[in-house]
Amino acid sequence: MLVLSGGWVSGTMLSPRFHPGRVWVMPREGAAMRDSGRETVRVFPGLGGLRVVRLKEGETVEQALQEFRLQPEVAWAEPDYQVTAAAVLPNDPYFQNGTQWALNNYGQNSGLPDADLDAPEAWAVRHTASNVVVAIVDSGVRTTHEDLAANLWRNPEDGTPGFNALTNQHDPEDDNGHGTHLAGIIGAVGDNNRGIAGVAWRVQLMACKFLNAAGNGYHSDAVACIEFARAHGAHILNLSWGGSEFSAAVSNALWAARADGLLVVAAAGNNGANVDQFPFYPACLAMDHIVAVGASTRTDERWSQSSYGAARVALFAPGAEIYSTTQSGDNAYQSRNGTSMATAFVAGALALLRQAAPAAPAPVLRDRLLGAVDVKPAFDGKCVSGGRLNLRKMLDWPALAMNWSNQTAQVRLTGVPTHGYVITASTNLQTWTSLQTNTAGPGGDWWFTDPASATLPRRFYRAHPGP
């Protein structure tokens, strides 16, 4: 009995593409290739006579391959697959010059290489979340900013970009800068040759203002924003604020949001405290759709002021020296620190995941997020997952299929070309053993043959992103 457990996220795999006018053909050793009426355009004598053959006029790749594979003098034939770079690099200036270390850390400015989200590798899988609405419940957003305006959510009733609980109107302009900074991290327009790139290059940013110019606000106004977001189709709430006082009203509002399938991402706080002992709300509310986030540095350490908690904080994400959009001008940017920034990175990541799995329950997405972190010593005992957000591992989940040959299982993994994956096996669905680590081929496929399957009564398989 064979059970395959692969990626449940649909639509995240790249469809294999190949040249429409030629194929690879490998002759058997010592065999003479017959004249098929096709032109051989390249031969590799050092590779056993491997050749590239141009198709006939009007012939499809599938037709040619079927014919070649039936010829006894042909060992194998395959498409001439197209490949792409394993990383996707947007042209936004502050990404290109290394300022956005959280997305791609190669050691710039005394950083630790790879202490980042692996964003370029993740973007090879998915970089847009156009159908996902992220409500930024905060100080508002500068709605005319060059890097945000195109990604603002618009109310279908009147075209406004959100809600202002302080005026009870739909004018959520930012007079503090905090909310605009978060908006850029989550969803600044990517690859537009301006400013920065957001985690999601395309997403719908709903501006919900309840914090004033000084960055202060009240629970009643926060709940008004949460209710607006819930009523107007938000999928994710970004709550980069909090306090030490438990509020039944806020708790009830977030519980109602859970019933509607919303994910809630909340800041763990900047008190450097253990929130298991000194709770910070709403991050510490015990609900399975809430993700509490601590802040990490460019060297994969806990930011000194970030709160932590082995039971209450879910994971860490970059939150120190984070460059993003600000409210002082349409082309203004600045650097900020805090668990607020870390929260925004996680909200952007979950937007991409929600786009990939629109029907998945929020707790399932939360589990996927926490199961894909980079486990690091600095976060051991400081959060539930023991790690820091890794965008690529979260998105790059391979699919599995199987075939039988001589009573032996052959597992076909389909992922992103050149990306690494691990196949594991179990006989009881409890203890899993790594069988092999490999990279997907040019078409995104990797075939694994498991000799042990022939002698076992049952064998379960699953796969996950590799290092």
CB 242 within 8 A of CB 251: no
| Burial track 402-438 (b if 16+ CB lie within 10 A, e otherwise) | eeeeeeebebbbbbbbbbbbbbbbbeeeeebeebbee
**Residue entry with tokens 């996707």:** 88
Which positions are annotated as active-site residues?
138, 178, 340
DSSP 398: P
pLDDT at 84: 53
CB 29 within 8 A of CB 415: no
pLDDT tens over the chain, length 467 residues: 233 333 332 233 334 568 889 999 999 988 888 888 899 999 998 898 999 999 999 999 999 999 999 999 999 999 987 765 556 799 999 999 999 999 999 999 999 999 999 999 999 999 999 999 999 999 999 999 999 999 999 999 999 999 999 999 999 999 999 999 999 999 999 999 999 999 999 999 999 999 999 999 999 999 999 999 999 999 999 999 999 999 999 999 999 999 999 999 999 999 999 999 999 999 999 999 999 999 999 999 999 999 999 999 999 999 999 999 999 999 999 999 999 999 999 999 999 999 999 999 999 999 999 999 999 999 999 999 999 999 999 999 888 887 777 778 888 888 888 888 999 988 888 889 899 898 888 878 888 888 888 887 778 888 889 87
In one-letter notation, the amino acid at residue 334 is Q
pLDDT at 8: 31
Query: Over the stretch 224-245, which tens digit does the pLDDT of each residue have?
Result: 999 999 999 999 999 999 999 9
Residues contacting residue 460 through CB under 8 Å, at least 6 positions apart:
2, 3, 4, 5, 425, 426, 427, 429
Query: Over the stretch 397-411, which tens digit does the pLDDT of each residue have?
Result: 888 887 777 778 888
pLDDT at 442: 81
Q: Domains in the chain, ordered, with CATH? A: 2-11+398-465 (2.60.40), 19-81 (3.30.70), 98-394 (3.40.50.200)
